[in-house]
Amino acid sequence: EKAIQEQKKGKTIVMLLRVDTSTKWYAKLVEAKAKIFWFNGRLRFANNQPANFASMLIVLTGIEE
């Protein structure tokens, strides 16, 4: 909700999140017209071990109301 509030103030927000399309926050992001980018496979970070979950990149483009 904080990200959507900031989007309404004209800020662009980028978030790397766990994929979970069954949540209320995901539905709110869809309603806010977020751009959603899906990754094939699991991301790997500095230790080269894969994450325990799938990830998605969310972009909320700033809009002033």
**Residue whose token pair is 């979950």:** 53
Instruction: Tell me the per-residue pLDDT of 16-58, one tens digit each, with 9 for 90 and over.
Output: 999 999 999 999 999 999 999 999 999 998 888 888 999 999 9
As separate numbers, helices (DSSP H) first and strands (DSSP E) second, the chain gives 2, 3
Q: How many domains does the chain have?
A: 1
Inform me whether the pLDDT recorded for 65 exceeds 80: no
Q: Is residue 56 part of a domain?
A: yes
In this prediction, residue 46 carries a pLDDT of: 85
Residue 9's pLDDT is: 94
Residue 65: inside a domain:
no
Within a domain: 26:
yes
Q: Residue 31 is part of which domain span?
A: 2-60
Q: How far apart, in whole angstroms, are the C-alpha atoms of residue 30 and residue 34?
A: 6
Asked whether residue 40 is assigned to any structural domain, the reply reads yes
- Rounded-to-integer distance, Cα 30 and Cα 63, Å: 15
Is 48 inside any structural domain? yes
1 versus 17: the higher-pLDDT residue is 17
Task: Please give the model's pTM, rounded to 2 decimal places.
Answer: 0.85
